[in-house]
Amino acid sequence: MVEYDVVIIGAGSVGVPTALATANDGLKTLVLDSLPSVAQADNKHAIGGIRATHSHKGKIWLCQRSIEIFSSWEERYGDDIWWSQGGYTFIAFTKEHENLLKDTVELQKSYGLNINYVDAGKIREIIPGINNDGLLGGTYSPEDGNASPLLSLHAFFRRSKELGTIYHFNEKVIHILTKNSKVIGVKTTKGNYKTQSVINAAGAHAKDIGNMINIDIPVEPESHEAGITEPVKNFFKPMIVDIKPCFDPKFGNSKNYYFYQNKEGKIIFCLTPDPNILGTDRRETSSFLPQISKRMIQLLPRLRNIKVRRTWRGLYPMTPDGNPIVGKIDEIEGYINAVGMCGQGFMLGPGLGELLSRLLTEKITSRDKDILDTLLYTRDFGVKEELK
């Protein structure tokens, strides 16, 4: 039986950058995935937004490090991953949302983030052509950005292989082997592997992996749809997030929607339905495009005549409070959670991967411990993150 220092379950937004970090730290690493190749679950459904401007300190710190990795990747390794530092803008049309954004900005600034609440005039400069009717202002965080999920993950994948990571595709994990409440290996559809450390990075299927060791992980997948347009000349830079809810009896209600223009000039967009759509259905619907296009055109009329290329549907592995579940557990020594990214695995992945490697090599810092304490499997899930 081949032995590895760590076995990572899942070759996606979290598993691959984690393998990059563990291999870089000298750990013999195996990544297992039931699908045919890297990034075939929900990384390829991600739209590419990357921000540190959260309201949860653990996510702030992890994404600050992720941004450092994304923004310097091409210079360090030569791969163009389409990194663009266009910023994020959350816009307000009601006093309630204005107050919420202002309060959130104060918290974010206390962690050193470059973000400000700006008035409607500044928003019109940042987003030329925005509908000014009722616009009060919004946030602007210029150091946030975006990148291509596919190009990024394949770059991380290639680099991790150069460092010695082994990947096995079309190989499903069917059991985590334990003895005396300690991990001793992994059983798959193709064989057994000896290890004392297993990282669950299985995304929407994290609960199934937890069930193998009799722990109930509170992660439930939700379906979210997205789309992309034809390329047009770039006319705005930030990811635009409209948090205003919409009542639409014909095509369905929505909580918010968001979109940006990528390096090729294509506009990528996504929407949060209300109520949430639980389950693992990845089939596109006929209601999504009329639902979101109406909202986008109302906000930014210049979008009216741009052609949509395609739409798709992916899964957000959600937790009760909108924050990930990360770290060791008391029940089984050697098992580590890296689950429940709530649709933010792409932006969290690089920073989280380095933290997990430090956890394995017993080199965690005081900040790492602080992050892990906020993301415990056993935490109180009653306090939800704003603007998740």
Give tens-digit pLDDT for 155-191. Answer: 999 999 999 999 999 999 999 999 999 999 999 999 9
pTM (predicted TM-score): 0.96
Give tens-digit pLDDT for 59-105. Answer: 999 999 999 999 999 999 999 999 999 999 999 999 999 999 999 99
* Residue 1, pLDDT score: 86
- 243 within 8 A of 387, measured Cβ to Cβ: yes
Cα 366 to chain centroid, rounded: 24
Q: List beta partners, residue 183.
A: 178
Average pLDDT, the chain: 97
Per-residue pLDDT band for 302 (boundaries 50, 70, 90) equals very high
The sign of the CA dihedral 343, 346, 348, 354 is: positive
- 314 within 8 A of 226, measured Cβ to Cβ: yes
Q: What angle, 0 to 180 degrees and rounded to 10, lies between the N-to-C axes of helices 345-360 and 366-374?
A: 120
Q: Is 272 in a helix, a strand, or coil?
A: strand
> Which secondary structure element, helix H or strand E, spans residue 253, and what is its range?
strand 253-261
- 386 pLDDT higher than 90: no
Closest of 64, 68, 32, 69 to residue 51, by C-alpha: 64
Residue written as tokens 């990075």? 201
Distance CA 47, CA 69 (A): 18
> Which secondary structure element, helix H or strand E, spans residue 7, and what is its range?
strand 6-9
- 225 within 8 A of 251, measured Cβ to Cβ: no
The CATH number of 88-144+221-318 is which of 3.30.1330.10, 1.50.10.20, 3.30.9.10, 3.40.50.620? 3.30.9.10
Domain boundaries, the chain: 3-78+149-219+321-374, 88-144+221-318
**Domain 3-78+149-219+321-374 falls under CATH 3.50.50.60:** yes
